[in-house]
C-alpha cells in the first residue's frame, strides 16, 4: 500500500510518499504563515513528483505541531510516535547503525525532543524542551546573525574549534548579549560558535540522561544536518551518534509508516 | 411408640457427637465458598455424615470407647446443624428471611414448654414436651437465630443483641432452662449450704438424669453465678481442675480421679479446638464480665467524660500481672491433693480453687444473677495469711477502675481470655488489612477498646491480628474505606469495613 | 483571648490595588472556561446551579471565614454559624499582581491568592478571618502576610502522618483553631451543632463517592470537569442543603444515562496539584486529547470529600480528635515527610477502577510535587503502571506542548491495550 506522511512543523513542512520499502518522493518547504495551506500544496507537489494522484494513496498521516490544522489526514499522530517509527526505519532510509537504536534525538526549528526506546522499539519515555527556544535551531540561527555570518559559515567556524567553552545564558535572547561580551573579550568567532553548539549539546545530554540514555543514538530533524552540532553531541555524550542523511524527513517518514501500520498494510511483520 | 423412638435415637446417636460437629466446622470453608459447584457443597455434608456414622459405629463397638465417646454427645449439636446449615446454601434474599422463622419457631415452642414445665408437672411423665424442653434445643435455636440474622443487622446492633443474649443465658440460664422442676429444687438445695468457703464441683454441676454428661464451653463465666445453667465454670476453673488431679491416684488407677482428669483433659482439648476456630471471639461477644464492664463504661460515655488512654508500660504491666496471677492460681491449685483435713498445706490455708478466690468474677457474677442477695462474704484473713482477702479487693477495684476509666483495660489482665489470644494470628479467624486502601486516619486505633495500635500502623503484613484483640470489630465497623479491614473465617470473608456505618 | 501567632509590633496596613484591568481579565478567563464547558455534549441539567455558586455573592446573613487547602476542618466553621469559603485562587489573571508584589519564584497558587487579596472587591476581602494550614513554605509565610489583611490563623501540621505519635499535638492545634474561631466570631462552640455539621459533610462524602464510582463505570455520564466544578461549588460557602439536593439530582440523572456505544477512551487516574476553577487547563487537555479521568486524588477533586469524619465517643475531646484524624492524618498532601499515603491512594485507585495509566499534574515552582514525581514515577514504573508527568503553571501558553505530551502518552497506552 502507498501511504503519505506530512510533518507540519512551525518552521518547515515535510512530506514523504512511501511505497512498501522505498520512499517514492519527499520534499521540504518552509511552513510560512499558514502551515495548513502549505501542507495541502505540499501534498499536491510531492504527489506530482511521485507521479501519483491522491486516489493512489492508501492513507495519509499528519504529524507535527500543525497536525490538526488540516483535514487531509486520515490519521493524526504525535511527532513523538512518528519520530520513533522513522528513526527505526533503517532499511527504508537505506542506512542504519550496527546496533539497535535506543535513543532518538530530534532537534527541530522550535523544539527539541529526546525519545528513549526499549528493545522492541516501543517508546519507553521521552523528554521535550518546550518552554524555551534555547536548545533549538532558532538559537543557532539567531547567534549566526549576531556574529554576522551565514548559517553555513557559522557551522564551519564551529567545526574549526575544539573548545570546551559553553555559553552560559539560559535564554536565547540573553545569549545575544553574552556573544557581544565574548567578542569584546577577544574570544574567536570559531570558539563562540562552538560554545553555542556545546550549550545545545549539553541541554540535549541532560534530556537524554533524564530518559535513561542508552546507545545507539540516532539524530534526526533539521538540526541533524548541522555537522558541528553532531560533533558537539557526540563529544558530550561520549558516544558515537548516527545521523541519517535524510534526517530532516525522518518524522514525515515515520508518519507514513504509522499510516501504513494503522490501515493494516504490511510492515514487514 | 416409645420403643421405636428409643431405637431410632440409639441409631442416630453418632450424629449427636461433638466430633461430627467439629468436622462440619472444618468443612465450613468449603461450604461457604460459593465459587465451588453447588452440588458438591450440598452433597459433602451427607457424605461426611455417613462416613462418620460408619466410623463411629465401628469404634463404639467396644464399651469403654462408647462410654468415652458418649461423653461428647449432646442433642445440641445436631439441632444446631439442622437449624443453621441449610442457611449456608441460600442467598440472602426473601427465602433466607423466611428461613429465620424456623429457629424463631423453635424458640417460641421451647419457651412455651419451659413455662409449662414450671407449673410443677411431676417428673418422669415423659411425652413429646421433653424434646422441646431440652435446653440444647433452646440454645441451638438462639444461636441459629443469631447466626441467621447476622447479615441483616448492622454489626454494632448485632453484637449488642448477641452480648445481651449471651449474658442472659450465661447468668440466668439455669433458672430458665432447668430440665424440670425437681432438678431445679435439688440444685437450690445443694447450693444453700456450701461445705466450705468455696463451692465444690458437685454443688454446681447440673445433673442430667440419663448419664453423667458434662458440657463445657471455654471461657464460660463464673460457676459462682447463682445458676450458670449448663455452662460449667470458666476455663480457669478447668485449668485448676486439671491441676487438682492427683498423679498418684491416677497411677493407682483410682476410677473417680481418672474420670475427672479425663473429663478435664477432654474439655481442654475441646477448648483448644474451639479457640482455634474462634480465637478470642468469646471475649468480645459473649463474656458477661465484659458485658457488665462495658455497661459501666457506658455510664462514663453518658456523662461525656473522656477515657484514660493507658501508656505502654501500664498495658504491659497488666498483661504480666494477669499472667502471674493466673500462674500463681495454678501453682496453688496444685496443692489440692496435698491438703490436709483443715485445708492446709505446709501450714498455709489454701482454697481448693485458689484462682477463683481472687477473681472478681466470684464477687460480681452472683450479684449480677441474684441481686444483693448474691453478695458473698470476702475470704477471711486466715486464707494464705490474708493474701486472698487483699487480692480480691484489689481485683474488684481494678475491674471497676479499668472499665469505668479506660474502656477495656481489664481484658489485658484477664487470664481467662489469654488462651484464645494465641489463636488471633494463627487460627481460623483472621483480621486482614488491605494496606493500600488505608487512609492513615487512625480511627481504628482510636476506637479500639483494647488500645491496640497494630491495625493502624501495620502496612506490610496483611494479617493484623493481635494477641489482645477481642474481635469486637469496632475497627472494622468504623473504618471509612471500603474493604480495607476484612474479618475472615477460614479464608472466607465474614464482614468488611464499609462506609456509611453498615459493616456488612 | 487566643494569642496572636504573629508579632503585633510589625503590623502593616493592607496593600490593595483597585485594578479594573485585572478584574476584566480574570472575568474573561472564567468566561472562556465556562464557554468551553458549555460546548460539552452532555451536562447535567442542574449544572447551572453549580456554576452560579462559584460567583454567588457572599450574603451578609452570616459571616464568611476564608480558608485554604483541604486540612481545615470546615465543620467547626459551620458549627459556629459561619460559612467556610475556600480561598485558593485558580485564576491566571491574578498571578501577575501577586507576582509584582511578592516574587515570581513561588507557586502560582500563592501568587494568585495574594493577588486576590489585593483586590478590595474580591471574596477574600469579604471574609471575617482567614484559616491557613502550614502545609508548605509558601502557605506558612503567606499566613503572616495575610494577617495584615484579615485576622489569620495558621494551623500547624505535624511533619509525619503518624497518628500514634502526633495525635495529641494535632488535636491541640485543632482546639487552638476552635478557640481562635470562637474569639473572632464571638460565639461558643456547641457539640450538637458540630455533630450536625459532621453529618452534613458525611452526606456530601456519600454523594461524591457515589458519583466517583458511577463515573468509573460510565465515564460518559458526567465529565470530570463538571464533577470537579460541582465539588468546588460546595467550597463556596453557600447553602449546603441546596448543594446536597442538586448534587443528588445530578447523580440520579447520571445513573439513568446509558451509553449508546462502548467507551474506548483510555482510563486515567489523575493525581497531583490542585486544579482550581477557572483554570481547568489540565482537565481540558485530558478530555480533549480523548481520555477519561476515572478517579483522582486531587485536593480540589474527589479526594477532598472522600473521607468522612468518623467518631466513636461524643465528648468534645473525642470530636476534636476525630476532626484531626480525618483532616490531618487522612490527607494525601505531599507536604508530609512520607508520600506513602498518596502513593497508596494512586495505586489503589488504579487497581480498583482498572485504570490504564496515571497522569501526575505537577505545578511548576512547587518543590513538593516536583520531588514527589521523582519517586512516584519510579514506583509506578516498577509496578508496570504507565505514568506521565505534566509539569506546568497557570499560564495557557504551553497548552500545545502539553497536548503533544499527553497525546504521545495516550498513544503508548493505546498500543499496549
Q: Which residue of A has its CA nearest to C377?
A: A125
For residue B216, the model assigns a pLDDT of: 34
Is-contact C216 C224, C-beta < 8 A?
no
CA-based R_g, chain C, Å: 21
Q: Are residues A108 and A57 in the same domain?
A: no
Which chain C residues have a beta carbon less than 8 Å from that of A128? 401, 404-405
| Of the partner residues A77, A122, A130, the one whose CB lies closest to the CB of residue C401 | A130
Cβ distance C164 to B446 less than 8 Å, yes or no, reads: no
Interface test with C, best of B315, B442, B462, B472 (most C CBs within 10 A): B442
Question: What sign does the dihedral B56-B59-B62-B64 (CA atoms) show?
Answer: negative
Between C343 and B91, whose confidence is greater?
C343
Is-contact A61 A77, C-beta < 8 A?
yes
| Of the partner residues C163, C206, C321, the one whose CB lies closest to the CB of residue B456 | C163
Q: Which residue of B has its CA nearest to C309?
A: B480
Give the residues across from B416 on adjacent strands.
none
For residue C235, the model assigns a pLDDT of: 95
- List the domain range (segments joined by +) for residue C331: 59-416
For residue A93, the model assigns a pLDDT of: 80
CA A106 from chain center: how many Å?
4
C115 located within any domain: yes
Give the residues across from C293 on adjacent strands.
C268
Least confident of B387-391, C178-182, C265-269, C318-322: B387-391
Q: Tell me: the pLDDT tens digits for C323-340?
A: 999 999 999 999 999 999
- Tell me the pLDDT band of A128, cut-offs 50, 70 and 90: confident
Q: Are residues A214 and A115 in the same domain?
A: yes
| Of the partner residues B306, B441, B453, the one whose CB lies closest to the CB of residue C329 | B441
Q: What mean pLDDT is predicted for residues B286-303? A: 89
The whole-chain average pLDDT of chain B stands at 76
How large a percentage of chain B has pLDDT more than 90? Answer: 15
SS3 of B291, please? helix
Q: Which residue of C has its CA nearest to A123?
A: C412
| Of the partner residues B436, B474, B480, the one whose CB lies closest to the CB of residue C344 | B436
Least confident of A112-121, B207-216, C94-103: B207-216
For residue B380, the model assigns a pLDDT of: 78
Q: Is the pLDDT of residue B132 over 50?
A: no
**CA B208 to each of CA B178, B183, B214, B224, B267: distance values in angstroms, whole numbers, following the listed order:** 10, 8, 9, 20, 18
Q: What mean pLDDT is predicted for residues A213-218? A: 84
d(CA C57, CA B255): 93
Q: Is the pLDDT of residue B88 over 80?
A: no
Give the residue among B241, B222, B242 at the shortest CA–CA distance from B232.
B222
Which chain C residues have a beta carbon less than 8 Å from that of A118? none
| Of the partner residues C398, C404, C415, the one whose CB lies closest to the CB of residue A78 | C404
For residue C49, the model assigns a pLDDT of: 94
Least confident of B139-143, B229-233, B237-241: B229-233
Q: Are residues A47 and A105 in the same domain?
A: no
Q: CB-based contact (8 Å) between C35 and chain A?
A: no
For residue B187, the model assigns a pLDDT of: 58
SS3 of A76, please? strand
The 3-class SS string of chain C reads: CCCCCCCHHHCCCCCCCCCHHHHHHHHHHHHHHHHHHHCCCCCCCCHHHHHHHHHCCCCCCCCEEEECCCCCCHHHHHHCCCEEEECCCCCHHHHHHHHHHCCCCCCHHHHHHHHHHHCCCCHHHHCCEEEEECCCHHHHHHHHHHHCCCCEEEECCCCCCCHHHHHHHHHHHHHHHHHHHHHHHCCCCCHHHHHHHHHHHHHHHHHHHHHHHHHHHCHHHCCHHHHHHHHHHCCCCCCHHHHHHHHHHHHHHHHHCCCCCCCCCCEEEEEECCCCCCCCHHHHHHHHCCCEEEEECCCCCHHHHCCCCCCCCCCHHHHHHHHHHHHHHCCCCCCCCCCHHHHHHHHHHHHHCCCCEEEEEEECCCHHHHHHHHHHHHHHHHCCCCEEEEEECCCCCCHHHHHHHHHHHHHHHHHHC
Which chain B residues have a beta carbon less than 8 Å from that of C355? none
Least confident of A44-53, A122-131, B114-123, C365-374: B114-123
Q: Are residues A154 and A202 in the same domain?
A: yes
Could you identify the residue written with the cell 432438678? B183
Q: Which chains touch C (3 or more CB pairs under 8 A)?
A: A, B
| Of the partner residues C307, C329, C347, the one whose CB lies closest to the CB of residue B480 | C307
Q: Are residues A88 and A145 in the same domain?
A: no
- Tell me the pLDDT band of B224, cut-offs 50, 70 and 90: low
Dihedral in degrees, nearest 10, Cα atoms A147, A151, A153, A155: 100
Enumerate residues 6+ apart whose C-beta is below 8 A from B263.
B71, B214
Q: Is the pLDDT of residue C118 over 90?
A: yes
C95 located within any domain: yes
The most confident of the ranges B45-54, B69-78, B124-133 is B45-54
Is-contact A136 A36, C-beta < 8 A?
no
Cβ distance C206 to B437 less than 8 Å, yes or no, reads: no
| Of the partner residues C162, C209, C325, the one whose CB lies closest to the CB of residue B446 | C325
Least confident of B79-88, C73-82, C242-251: B79-88
The whole-chain average pLDDT of chain A stands at 85
**CA A216 to each of CA A86, A129, B395, C290: distance values in angstroms, whole numbers, following the listed order:** 15, 21, 79, 34
For residue B130, the model assigns a pLDDT of: 35
- List the domain range (segments joined by +) for residue A28: 1-95+248-269
For the domain that residue C147 is a member of, what is the CATH number?
3.40.50.11900
Q: Name the phi and psi angles at A106, rounded to 5.
A: -120, 110
Which chain C residues have a beta carbon less than 8 Å from that of A79? 404
d(CA A124, CA A116): 6
This model of the complex carries an ipTM of 0.89
Q: Tell me: the pLDDT tens digits for C345-400?
A: 999 999 999 999 999 999 989 999 989 999 999 999 999 999 999 999 888 878 88
Q: What mean pLDDT is predicted for residues A161-190? A: 81
Between B394 and B144, whose confidence is greater?
B394
Is-contact C168 C325, C-beta < 8 A?
no
Q: Are residues A238 and A264 in the same domain?
A: no
Q: Are residues A193 and A253 in the same domain?
A: no
Q: Which residue of A has its CA nearest to C404?
A: A78
SS3 of B357, please? helix
Q: Are residues A112 and A169 in the same domain?
A: yes
| Of the partner residues B304, B453, B459, the one whose CB lies closest to the CB of residue C315 | B304
Chains B and A touch (3+ CB pairs under 8 A): no
Give the residues across from B488 on adjacent strands.
B430, B493
Q: CB-based contact (8 Å) between C182 and chain B?
A: no
User: DSSP readout, A86-127?
Assistant: HHT-HHHHT---SSPP-EEEEE-SS-EEEEEE-TTS-EEEEE
Angle B446-B451-B453 (CA atoms, 0-180°, nearest 5)? 75
Q: Tell me: the pLDDT tens digits for B12-52?
A: 777 777 777 777 767 776 776 667 777 887 888 888 888 88
Give the residue among C210, C189, C170, C165 at the shortest CA–CA distance from C77.
C189
Cβ distance B439 to C340 less than 8 Å, yes or no, reads: no
Q: Which residue of A has its CA nearest to C402?
A: A130
Cβ distance A126 to C400 less than 8 Å, yes or no, reads: no
Q: Are residues A127 and A82 in the same domain?
A: no
User: DSSP readout, B125-155?
Assistant: --STHHHHH-HHHHHHHHHHHHHHHGGGS-H
For residue B212, the model assigns a pLDDT of: 44
B97–chain C nearest CA distance, Å: 28
Q: Is the pLDDT of residue B261 over 70?
A: yes
Q: CB-based contact (8 Å) between A96 and chain C?
A: no
What letter would DSSP give residue B377?
P
C31 located within any domain: no
The whole-chain average pLDDT of chain C stands at 92
Could you identify the residue written with the cell 478470642? B280
Q: CB-based contact (8 Å) between B501 and chain C?
A: no
Cβ distance C408 to A131 less than 8 Å, yes or no, reads: no
C19 located within any domain: no
Q: Are residues A89 and A66 in the same domain?
A: yes
C9 located within any domain: no
For residue A135, the model assigns a pLDDT of: 64
For residue C350, the model assigns a pLDDT of: 97
**CA C276 to each of CA B195, B451, C30, C86, C298: distance values in angstroms, whole numbers, following the listed order:** 82, 41, 11, 10, 10
For residue B214, the model assigns a pLDDT of: 40
Enumerate residues 6+ apart whose C-beta is below 8 A from A122.
C412, C415
For residue A55, the model assigns a pLDDT of: 86
C404–chain A nearest CA distance, Å: 6
Helix (H) or strand (E) holding A220: strand A217-220
For residue B119, the model assigns a pLDDT of: 59
C410 located within any domain: yes
Chains A and C touch (3+ CB pairs under 8 A): yes
Between A93 and B295, whose confidence is greater?
B295
pTM (2 decimals)? 0.82
Q: Tell me: the pLDDT tens digits for C203-259?
A: 999 999 999 999 999 999 999 999 999 999 999 999 999 999 999 999 999 999 988
For the domain that residue A4 is a member of, what is the CATH number?
3.30.420.40
Q: CB-based contact (8 Å) between A111 and chain C?
A: yes
Is-contact C115 C145, C-beta < 8 A?
no
| Of the partner residues B439, B446, B456, the one whose CB lies closest to the CB of residue C321 | B446
Q: Look at chain C and report how many structural domains it folds into.
A: 1
Q: Name the phi and psi angles at B350, rounded to 5.
A: -120, 130
Give the residue among C386, C352, C357, C212 at the shortest CA–CA distance from C290.
C357
CA-based R_g, chain B, Å: 24
- Tell me the pLDDT band of B95, cut-offs 50, 70 and 90: confident
Q: Look at chain A and report how many structural domains it folds into.
A: 2
Q: Tell me: the pLDDT tens digits for C10-58?
A: 999 998 988 888 899 999 999 999 999 999 988 999 999 999 998 888 8
Interface test with A, best of C285, C399, C412 (most A CBs within 10 A): C412
Q: Name the phi and psi angles at A164, rounded to 5.
A: -95, 5
Cβ distance C329 to B307 less than 8 Å, yes or no, reads: no
d(CA B259, CA B280): 29
Q: Are residues A30 and A53 in the same domain?
A: yes
Q: Tell me: the pLDDT tens digits for B398-457?
A: 999 999 888 889 999 988 888 888 888 888 889 999 999 999 999 999 999 999 999 999
* Cell triple for B497: 469495613
How large a percentage of chain A has pLDDT more than 90? Answer: 22
A111–chain C nearest CA distance, Å: 9
- Tell me the pLDDT band of B205, cut-offs 50, 70 and 90: very low
C131 located within any domain: yes
* Cell triple for A69: 490544522
Do the strands A103-107 and A217-220 form a parallel or antiparallel pair, or are they unpaired?
A: parallel
Between C16 and B95, whose confidence is greater?
C16
| Of the partner residues B301, B445, B456, the one whose CB lies closest to the CB of residue C313 | B301
Q: Are residues A213 and A108 in the same domain?
A: yes
Cβ distance A78 to C407 less than 8 Å, yes or no, reads: yes
CA A236 from chain center: how many Å?
19
Cβ distance C411 to A81 less than 8 Å, yes or no, reads: yes
Which chain B residues have a beta carbon less than 8 Å from that of C332? 439
C1 located within any domain: no
Q: Tell me: the pLDDT tens digits for A24-48?
A: 899 999 988 888 889 999 999 999 9
Q: Which residue of A has its CA nearest to C386?
A: A124
* Cell triple for C55: 460567583
d(CA C263, CA B79): 54
Give the residues across from A114 on adjacent strands.
A105, A127
Q: CB-based contact (8 Å) between C412 and chain A?
A: yes
Interface test with A, best of C362, C374, C388, C408 (most A CBs within 10 A): C408
Cβ distance C347 to B436 less than 8 Å, yes or no, reads: yes
Q: CB-based contact (8 Å) between C38 and chain A?
A: no
For residue B453, the model assigns a pLDDT of: 92
- Tell me the pLDDT band of B92, cut-offs 50, 70 and 90: low
Cβ distance B307 to C313 less than 8 Å, yes or no, reads: yes
Amino acid at each position: 500500500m502507498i501511504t503519505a506522511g506530512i510533518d507540519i512543523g512551525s518552521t518547515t513542512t515535510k512530506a514523504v510518499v512511501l511505497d512498501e520499502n522505498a520512499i517514492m518522493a519527499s520534499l521540504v518547504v518552509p511552513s510560512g504563515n499558514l502551515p495548513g495551506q502549505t501542507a495541502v500544496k505540499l501534498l499536491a507537489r510531492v504527489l506530482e513528483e511521485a507521479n501519483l494522484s491522491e486516489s493512489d494513496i492508501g492513507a495519509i498521516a499528519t504529524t507535527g505541531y500543525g497536525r490538526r490544522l488540516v483535514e487531509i489526514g486520515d490519521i493524526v499522530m504525535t511527532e513523538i510516535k512518528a519520530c520513533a517509527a522513522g528513526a527505526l526505519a533503517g532499511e527504508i532510509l537505506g542506512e542504519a547503525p550496527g546496533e539497535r537504536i535506543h535513543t532518538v534525538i530530534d532537534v527541530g526549528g522550535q523544539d527539541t525532543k529526546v525519545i528513549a526506546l526499549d528493545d522492541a522499539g516501543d517508546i519507553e519515555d521521552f523528554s521535550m524542551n518546550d518552554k524555551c527556544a534555547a536548545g533549538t535551531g532558532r538559537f543557532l540561527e539567531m547567534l549566526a546573525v549576531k556574529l554576522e555570518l551565514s548559517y553555513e559559515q557559522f557551522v564551519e567556524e564551529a567545526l574549526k574549534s575544539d573548545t570546551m567553552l559553553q555559553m552560559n545564558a539560559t535564554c536565547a535572547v540573553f545569549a545575544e548579549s553574552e556573544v557581544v561580551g565574548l567578542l569584546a573579550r577577544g574570544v574567536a568567532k570559531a570558539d563562540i560558535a562552538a560554545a553555542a553548539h556545546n550549550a545545545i549539546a549539553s541541554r540535549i545530554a541532560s534530556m537524554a540522561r533524564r530518559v535513561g540514555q542508552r546507545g545507539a543514538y540516532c539524530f534526526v530533524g533539521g538540526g541533524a544536518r548541522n555537522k558541528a552540532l553532531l560533533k558537539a553531541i557526540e563529544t558530550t555524550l561520549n558516544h558515537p551518534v548516527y545521523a541519517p542523511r535524510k534526517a530532516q524527513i525522518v518524522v514525515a517518514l515515520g508518519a507514513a509508516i504509522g499510516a501504513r501500520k494503522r490501515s493494516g498494510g504490511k510492515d514487514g511483520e | 411408640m416409645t420403643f421405636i423412638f428409643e431405637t431410632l435415637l440409639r441409631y442416630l446417636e453418632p450424629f449427636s457427637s461433638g466430633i461430627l460437629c467439629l468436622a462440619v466446622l472444618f468443612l465450613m470453608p468449603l461450604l461457604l465458598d460459593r465459587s465451588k459447584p453447588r452440588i458438591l457443597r450440598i452433597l459433602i455434608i451427607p457424605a461426611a455424615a455417613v462416613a462418620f456414622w460408619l466410623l463411629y459405629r465401628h469404634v463404639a463397638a467396644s464399651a469403654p470407647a462408647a462410654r468415652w465417646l458418649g461423653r461428647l454427645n449432646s442433642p445440641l449439636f445436631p439441632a444446631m446443624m439442622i437449624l443453621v446449615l441449610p442457611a449456608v446454601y441460600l442467598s440472602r434474599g426473601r427465602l433466607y428471611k423466611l428461613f429465620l422463622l424456623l429457629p424463631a419457631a423453635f424458640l417460641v415452642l421451647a419457651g412455651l414448654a419451659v413455662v409449662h414445665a414450671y407449673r410443677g408437672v411431676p417428673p418422669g411423665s415423659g411425652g413429646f414436651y421433653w424434646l422441646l424442653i431440652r435446653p440444647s434445643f433452646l440454645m441451638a435455636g438462639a444461636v441459629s437465630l443469631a447466626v441467621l440474622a447476622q447479615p441483616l443487622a448492622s454489626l454494632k446492633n448485632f453484637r449488642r443483641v448477641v452480648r445481651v443474649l449471651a449474658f442472659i443465658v450465661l447468668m440466668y440460664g439455669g433458672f430458665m432452662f432447668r430440665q424440670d422442676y425437681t432438678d431445679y429444687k435439688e440444685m437450690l438445695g445443694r447450693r444453700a449450704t456450701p461445705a466450705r468457703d468455696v463451692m465444690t464441683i458437685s454443688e454446681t454441676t447440673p445433673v442430667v438424669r440419663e448419664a453423667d454428661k458434662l458440657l463445657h464451653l471455654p471461657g464460660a463465666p463464673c460457676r459462682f453465678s447463682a445458676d450458670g445453667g449448663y455452662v460449667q465454670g470458666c476455663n480457669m476453673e478447668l485449668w485448676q481442675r486439671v491441676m487438682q488431679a492427683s498423679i498418684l491416684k491416677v497411677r493407682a488407677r483410682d476410677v473417680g480421679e481418672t474420670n475427672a482428669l479425663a473429663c478435664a483433659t477432654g474439655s481442654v482439648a475441646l477448648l483448644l479446638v474451639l479457640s482455634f476456630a474462634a480465637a478470642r471471639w468469646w471475649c468480645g461477644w459473649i463474656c458477661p464480665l465484659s458485658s457488665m464492664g462495658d455497661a459501666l463504661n457506658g455510664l462514663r460515655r453518658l456523662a461525656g467524660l473522656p477515657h484514660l488512654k493507658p501508656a505502654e508500660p501500664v498495658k504491659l504491666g497488666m498483661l504480666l500481672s494477669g499472667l502471674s496471677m493466673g500462674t500463681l492460681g495454678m501453682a496453688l491449685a496444685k496443692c489440692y491433693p496435698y491438703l490436709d483435713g483443715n485445708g492446709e498445706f505446709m501450714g498455709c490455708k489454701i482454697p481448693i480453687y485458689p484462682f477463683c478466690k481472687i477473681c472478681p468474677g466470684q464477687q460480681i457474677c452472683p450479684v449480677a444473677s441474684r441481686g444483693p442477695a448474691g453478695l458473698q462474704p470476702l475470704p477471711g484473713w486466715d486464707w494464705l495469711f490474708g493474701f486472698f482477702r487483699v487480692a480480691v479487693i484489689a481485683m474488684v477495684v481494678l475491674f471497676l477502675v479499668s472499665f469505668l476509666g479506660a474502656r477495656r483495660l481489664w481484658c489485658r489482665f484477664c487470664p481467662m481470655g489469654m488462651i484464645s489470644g494465641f489463636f488471633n494470628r494463627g487460627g481460623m479467624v483472621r483480621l486482614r488489612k488491605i494496606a493500600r486502601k488505608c487512609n492513615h486516619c487512625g480511627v481504628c486505633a482510636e476506637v479500639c477498646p483494647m488500645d491496640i495500635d497494630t491495625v493502624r500502623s501495620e502496612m506490610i503484613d496483611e494479617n493484623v491480628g493481635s494477641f489482645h484483640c477481642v474481635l469486637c470489630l469496632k475497627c472494622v465497623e468504623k473504618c471509612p474505606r471500603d474493604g480495607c479491614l476484612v474479618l475472615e473465617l477460614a479464608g472466607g470473608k465474614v464482614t468488611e469495613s464499609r462506609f456509611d456505618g453498615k459493616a456488612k | 483571648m487566643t494569642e496572636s501567632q504573629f508579632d503585633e509590633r510589625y503590623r502593616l496596613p493592607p496593600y490593595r490595588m483597585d485594578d479594573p484591568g485585572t478584574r476584566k481579565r480574570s472575568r474573561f478567563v472564567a468566561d472562556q472556561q465556562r464557554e468551553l464547558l458549555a460546548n460539552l455534549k452532555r451536562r447535567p441539567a442542574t449544572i447551572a446551579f453549580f456554576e452560579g455558586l462559584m460567583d454567588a455573592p457572599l450574603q451578609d446573613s452570616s459571616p464568611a471565614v476564608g480558608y485554604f487547602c483541604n486540612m481545615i476542618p470546615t465543620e467547626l466553621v459551620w458549627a459556629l454559624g459561619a460559612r467556610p469559603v475556600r480561598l485558593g485562587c485558580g485564576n491566571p489573571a491574578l498571578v501577575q499582581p501577586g507576582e509584582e508584589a511578592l516574587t515570581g519564584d513561588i507557586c502560582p497558587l500563592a501568587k494568585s491568592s495574594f493577588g486576590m487579596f489585593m483586590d478590595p472587591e474580591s471574596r477574600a476581602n469579604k471574609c471575617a478571618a482567614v484559616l491557613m494550614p502550614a502545609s508548605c513554605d509558601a502557605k506558612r509565610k503567606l499566613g503572616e502576610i495575610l494577617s495584615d489583611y484579615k485576622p489569620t490563623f495558621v494551623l500547624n501540621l505535624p511533619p509525619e502522618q503518624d497518628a500514634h505519635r502526633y495525635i495529641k499535638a494535632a488535636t491541640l492545634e485543632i482546639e487552638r483553631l476552635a478557640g481562635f474561631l470562637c474569639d473572632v466570631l464571638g460565639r461558643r462552640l456547641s457539640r450538637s451543632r458540630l455533630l450536625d455539621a459532621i453529618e452534613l459533610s458525611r452526606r456530601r462524602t456519600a454523594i461524591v463517592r457515589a458519583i466517583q464510582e458511577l463515573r468509573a463505570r460510565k465515564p460518559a455520564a458526567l465529565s470530570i470537569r463538571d464533577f470537579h466544578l460541582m465539588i468546588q461549588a460546595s467550597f463556596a460557602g453557600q447553602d449546603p442543603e441546596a448543594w446536597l439536593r442538586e448534587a443528588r439530582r445530578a447523580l440520579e440523572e447520571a445513573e439513568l444515562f446509558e451509553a449508546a456505544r462502548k467507551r474506548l477512551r483510555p482510563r486515567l487516574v489523575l493525581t497531583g496539584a490542585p486544579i482550581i476553577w477557572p483554570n481547568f487547563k489540565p482537565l481540558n487537555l485530558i478530555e480533549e486529547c480523548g481520555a477519561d479521568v476515572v478517579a483522582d486524588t486531587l485536593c480540589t477533586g474527589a479526594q477532598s470529600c472522600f473521607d468522612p469524619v468518623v467518631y466513636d465517643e461524643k465528648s468534645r475531646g473525642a470530636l476534636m480528635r476525630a476532626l484531626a484524624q480525618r483532616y490531618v492524618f487522612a490527607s494525601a498532601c505531599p507536604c508530609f515527610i512520607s508520600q506513602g499515603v498518596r502513593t497508596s491512594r494512586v495505586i489503589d485507585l488504579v487497581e480498583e477502577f482498572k485504570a490504564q495509566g496515571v497522569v501526575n499534574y505537577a505545578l511548576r515552582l512547587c518543590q513538593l510535587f516536583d520531588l514527589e514525581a521523582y519517586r512516584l514515577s519510579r514506583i509506578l514504573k516498577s509496578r508496570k503502571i504507565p505514568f506521565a508527568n505534566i509539569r506546568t503553571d497557570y499560564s495557557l501558553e504551553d497548552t500545545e506542548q502539553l497536548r503533544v505530551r499527553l497525546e504521545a502518552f495516550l498513544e503508548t497506552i493505546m498500543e499496549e491495550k
